[in-house]
Amino acid sequence: MTVAPVTTTIIKKEVTTIKTTPVTLIEGDGIGPEILDATLDVLNAMDTSFVWHRFKAGMRAYEETGDALPGEMLDNIRQTRLALKAPLTTPVGSGFRSATVRLREEFVLFANVRPARTYIHSPRNYDNIDLVLIRENTEGLYVGVEHYIPIDGDPKAVAEASGIITRSGCRRIAEFAFDYAVRNHRKKITIVHKANILKALTGLFLETALEVGRKYEGRLEIEDRIVDNCAMQLVINPNQFDVILTTNMFGDILSDEIAGLIGGLGLAPGGNIGRDTAIFEAIHGTAQDIAGKGIANPTSLLLASAMMLDHIREPELATRLRNAIRAVLVEDHIRTIDLGGDASTSTYTAAIIRRLQSDCA
């Protein structure tokens, strides 16, 4: 009997290099370190390829270094071009200027993106909200050009502030918003202004946004609303809106109103985006009254992380994270105290990790 020779086939395995993404972590004040730790636990459980560079900022950094935004941290952001930020304390009425506003100016983060989606049932039955507010982030009244005028011995008899809006700034944010809407398969943009009263300041914003919008006719429905009417319509029927484009101060106010419609700031993330740098953040306050108690809600920062994953072109990971959060809140009914539950930060975080792991099983 002739035995056939044994043939050995050598299969060469292709070596894949996992690309790592460096991220600057901004620890923040109050509950900031707690929700950042929880968020890192979740992201690390997803086998993401992030390399973390962690820094203190805000009041804690100011007390230690004399600067709410230490130079070492700013230098790191210049290198990574990507940051995840917990909330920072801003003194009211006096003290240092808002560190968050300084960050936006330092890196020219001209676009503030605030998505709002329904995750839990609302007492007003707004169960299908899915809208995005895009706010110009560097101009308007928030540029901080203000002073006092003394009269009759009173050094603060009159306070005066100037809002500054440029055509180039209006065009930049309008182009970003329209491109965002098309790229994310949105159908409609509402330009929000107060051009009936502030005819120059917000009239320029409206005029420029409509001019940019002409290039998108046929792809998007475009309308405009006066800000006070928009605020009322959001309460009456938020589902009539898709993407809202507005100025700095109006966007600050309306985005918090929108967060209230979906259950509060604890469920609302934010992204500050420029030409080459992006900082994603929890948009609620530092909640000093519950800091250290282990009951803080990390959802806002987790959803901001999902935005960051979308930004670095990892949409599948972003969707997995959002789905796990939704499942824990809606199906498992595990919620922190601010959402009407009794879960601790660690219990809630562990539940999300379990959902992510079962999703991969």
Could you give phi then psi for residue 66, rounded to 5 degrees?
Answer: 85, 5
Q: Angle at the Cα of 357 (from 353 to 359), degrees rounded to 5?
A: 115
**Inter-axis angle of helices 32-45 and 299-311, to 10 degrees?**
50
Quick count: other Cβ atoms within 10 Å of Cβ 265?
Answer: 22
SS3 354: helix
303 Cβ contact partners less than 8 Å away, ≥ 6 residues apart? 115, 267, 268, 269, 322, 325
Distances, alpha carbon 350 to alpha carbons 50, 127, 172, 293, in Å: 20, 26, 41, 17
SS3 273: strand
Give the N- to C-terminal CA distance of the chain in Å, as an integer: 50
Nearest to 240 by CA among 253, 225, 250: 225
136 contacts 142 by C-beta, under 8 angstroms: no
- Helix %, strand %, coil % for the chain, to 5? 45, 25, 35
Cα 309 to Cα 312: distance, rounded to the nearest angstrom:
5
Distances, alpha carbon 216 to alpha carbons 82, 110, 179, 189, 223, in Å: 30, 21, 9, 10, 12
Distances, alpha carbon 277 to alpha carbons 23, 103, 133, in Å: 11, 11, 19
As annotated, the active-site residues are: 142, 194, 228, 252, 256
- Looking at beta carbons, which pairs linking 70-79 to residues 24 or more positions away fall under 8 Å? 73/24, 73/26, 74/106, 76/24, 77/24, 77/107, 77/277, 77/279, 79/22
